[in-house]
A and B are shown apart, each in its own frame.
Chain A
């Protein structure tokens, strides 16, 4: 994926604030507003249900919007994560992705009885989990299910592969191995797009080629575009860059400043103001970034304004792409079909057979 200067970008929306009770209304509203991606946060917090399951719930009731949960890589089992995400791809018709997070959390460690890790170890754990996940997704070739009545074979065993993953020799966490193959055929997209915070990716961290997109944060809205440029310069053109923005809009006769008081500090750049000013900001951000992820202060309130006033204008200006009906998340990110590292048919083709 290359820098998209002057190309229309995409918009993602974080739907954590909708909770589980309002989930279908929120995701349907986001889809009809024209958002390309819905994301679901998953750090421990009172009242927050598992992000992957919220994404799965959203899958069958939508047609176009990608459903992308956060899933921790440090204190969760890579085999489970890989299967769950592949399953999410099936239930969403190929619209799943993964925001790989690395929990720096003593609580998360204590909950599963593991030693707390921090610093560089987090990126190593994340890199290992992503590698396991990706190998398992490839462990069934696309055409492994053959249903060959004549020979009685449901699968072609030559098209299933052990992944035989071992953590690298310099692995700072507890070493482990994963055998494979997966217990589910290759996901519909082949490989789900993997996203991670830009701070987790790069030299000595999660390798750039392990992810498809990075999430870029800056302390203020003014600094965000510059940070996007810096990250792109640092990581190269192969990953998509998504700018992170908190949004509080004037709405329902209350101005953003008043609503702002009630919302909490996130550390991300924040926009507070009118829909017209937000449109200008997003327009300029979409010139720099491939996409912007909006974190609404209150999902139902801000989503309504975004839907009525902001997205239509961005589309009119040509800075926002039209959603792709029945498209995959790979399509949203401009990724082609995913190669399979184990593919025997590819090897055969290469050998001129």
Chain B
């Protein structure tokens, strides 16, 4: 069955991930603009649209990151609500998709489904939901229900949540109704709602998923249209594709049913050498001396400000056994002492200072494409040829001008190679991504 055999599209697309938090976005350069002014968002989304980007993404974090018990002071922090910002951006754009990262733990399914469908209608069929599963009790302190969800339950919960949302979106028979009643009774919540909104031009919001565990991948293979993956490097991307194809075929969907767009960062220039110089400059601003120390403090659980960022890793041991979870789920649960020993050995081995070591450890390193416009374009064309990915989700390291050179130089190179769209295919995100119209979700009243 050809449906079960993956067919590369030969194309790649771009999305932009406007982070709004963390050390990836440089705030110390002269060109660094505001992270919250609407004009920053307008500039970058309109640049992306000029470059025929498929989608504009906003992340979500519902509690500020902390460092040694206080809000973390060193990195960019403070960002608008995703859907409110995207509704505003819908008014100043025409074709680009608008993707809101929204978690399934601190939202109510009927309310979230209604808001996403509102965004979809307002934007003329350009909305998407990047489904994430925040489950830490620490975020729960900002919400009525507190930190109620066990780690083990989060994807079960997410799946029931997404299915309920789909049934809400699918309940209008025509553009004007009538709507079916949707009921869900589950372990964590009950929903009993008469949906209010008709289908949008793209039928219902596109679903992205970001999460990498086996449960997360299976969930994506069953429910998502696109995975926002953490695997941009070529071999890794090919392997991730193979894994997702297997899972989506097993889930009864076609081999091409789920698209993949890894997180990525581009550092580009006219020549390889200039690009490498630029990279050193970008890294020095992303991980300054204070960030390097603070990074280690997260794992050591103690103040390390007396250590020289250009000297070796601290010889004293961490005061905590498990590393703090307050910095984000990626850091959760590592054995601190063991990790410290390992890191000291590794840094010594490679002759790295604290700063050099931390720079080598931070997540973005794996997702960076550095080089001349032409070399990077050649490299990306290879991804397109084998179908390693369907696109890349670019996190610009500069706001609001961080996409300018990508749009001005890299995009034309890719278009010349025939691997990147020269026009939007249509006005909806689903059309622009080349996704099929979704099958209507099951109608029956379901109790689980």
A contacts, CB < 8 Å to B: 20, 23-24, 44-50, 52-54, 56-61, 75-80, 83-84, 86-88, 90-93, 107, 110-113, 140, 145, 147, 149, 151-157, 160, 174, 176-181, 183-185
B contacts, CB < 8 Å to A: 27-28, 32, 36-38, 42, 61-64, 70-71, 73-81, 83-85, 87-92, 106-108, 110-111, 114-115, 117-119, 121-122, 141-144, 146, 176-177, 179, 189-194, 196-198, 288-291
What residues on B are CB-neighbors of A61 within 8 Å? 91-92
- Could you tell me if B142 and A180 are in contact, using CB atoms closer than 8 angstroms? yes
Q: With the chains together, A145 CA to B64 CA distance in Å?
A: 14
Q: A149-B28, A185-B36 are in contact. Are A77 and B143 (CB under 8 A)?
A: yes
- Could you tell me if B179 and A154 are in contact, using CB atoms closer than 8 angstroms? no
- Could you tell me if A112 and B111 are in contact, using CB atoms closer than 8 angstroms? yes
Nearest neighbor of A112 in chain B, beta-carbon distance: B108
CB distance from B64 to the nearest CB of A (A): 6
- Could you tell me if B121 and A154 are in contact, using CB atoms closer than 8 angstroms? no
Q: Which 9 pairs, one residue from A and one from B, show the smallest C-beta to C-beta distance?
A: A152-B290, A91-B88, A113-B190, A87-B80, A49-B118, A50-B118, A53-B87, A87-B84, A179-B141
What residues on B are CB-neighbors of A87 within 8 Å? 80-81, 84-85
CB distance from A329 to the nearest CB of B (A): 16
What residues on A are CB-neighbors of B87 within 8 Å? 52-54, 56-57, 91
CB distance from A134 to the nearest CB of B (A): 15
What residues on B are CB-neighbors of A77 within 8 Å? 106-108, 143-144
Q: A152-B291, A160-B71, A184-B81 are in contact. Are A107 and B143 (CB under 8 A)?
A: no
What residues on A are CB-neighbors of B114 within 8 Å? 50
- Could you tell me if B71 and A155 are in contact, using CB atoms closer than 8 angstroms? yes
Nearest neighbor of B42 in chain A, beta-carbon distance: A60
Q: With the chains together, A59 CA to B37 CA distance in Å?
A: 13
Contact of B122 among A23, A76, A91, A110 (CB under 8 A): A23
Could you jot down 5 A-B contacts, CB within 8 Å? Answer: A60-B92, A75-B111, A90-B38, A91-B87, A153-B74
- Could you tell me if B110 and A111 are in contact, using CB atoms closer than 8 angstroms? yes
Q: Which DSSP category, helix, strand, loop or mixed, fits chain B's interface?
A: loop
Nearest neighbor of A107 in chain B, beta-carbon distance: B194
What residues on A are CB-neighbors of B28 within 8 Å? 147, 149
Q: A79-B62, A87-B84, A111-B193 are in contact. Are A47 and B198 (CB under 8 A)?
A: yes
Q: With the chains together, A178 CA to B290 CA distance in Å?
A: 31
Q: With the chains together, A151 CA to B290 CA distance in Å?
A: 8
What residues on B are CB-neighbors of A93 within 8 Å? 38
What residues on A are CB-neighbors of B27 within 8 Å? 147, 154
Q: With the chains together, A307 CA to B13 CA distance in Å?
A: 46
Q: With the chains together, A92 CA to B88 CA distance in Å?
A: 8
- Could you tell me if B85 and A91 are in contact, using CB atoms closer than 8 angstroms? yes
Q: A53-B122, A160-B64 are in contact. Are A84 and B84 (CB under 8 A)?
A: yes
- Could you tell me if B110 and A112 are in contact, using CB atoms closer than 8 angstroms? yes
Contact of B111 among A86, A110, A111, A157 (CB under 8 A): A111
How many residue pairs link A and B with beta carbons under 8 A? The number is 177
Contact of A181 among B71, B92, B196 (CB under 8 A): B71
- Could you tell me if A111 and B191 are in contact, using CB atoms closer than 8 angstroms? yes
Contact of B143 among A54, A79, A151, A174 (CB under 8 A): A79
Contact of A156 among B73, B78, B92, B119 (CB under 8 A): B73
Contact of B73 among A20, A91, A155 (CB under 8 A): A155
- Could you tell me if A111 and B192 are in contact, using CB atoms closer than 8 angstroms? yes
- Could you tell me if B63 and A179 are in contact, using CB atoms closer than 8 angstroms? yes
Nearest neighbor of B196 in chain A, beta-carbon distance: A46
Nearest neighbor of B178 in chain A, beta-carbon distance: A46
CB distance from A166 to the nearest CB of B (A): 12
Q: With the chains together, A103 CA to B256 CA distance in Å?
A: 45
What residues on A are CB-neighbors of B108 within 8 Å? 77, 111-113
What residues on B are CB-neighbors of A113 within 8 Å? 108, 189-192
Contact of A57 among B36, B64, B122 (CB under 8 A): B122
- Could you tell me if A83 and B81 are in contact, using CB atoms closer than 8 angstroms? yes
Q: A160-B71, A183-B63 are in contact. Are A49 and B122 (CB under 8 A)?
A: yes
User: Which of A90, A177, A185: most chain B CB closer than 10 A?
Assistant: A90
Q: With the chains together, A113 CA to B80 CA distance in Å?
A: 27
- Could you tell me if A183 and B78 are in contact, using CB atoms closer than 8 angstroms? yes
What residues on B are CB-neighbors of A91 within 8 Å? 38, 80, 84-85, 87-88
What residues on A are CB-neighbors of B36 within 8 Å? 90, 184-185
Q: With the chains together, A77 CA to B107 CA distance in Å?
A: 8
Q: With the chains together, A153 CA to B71 CA distance in Å?
A: 11
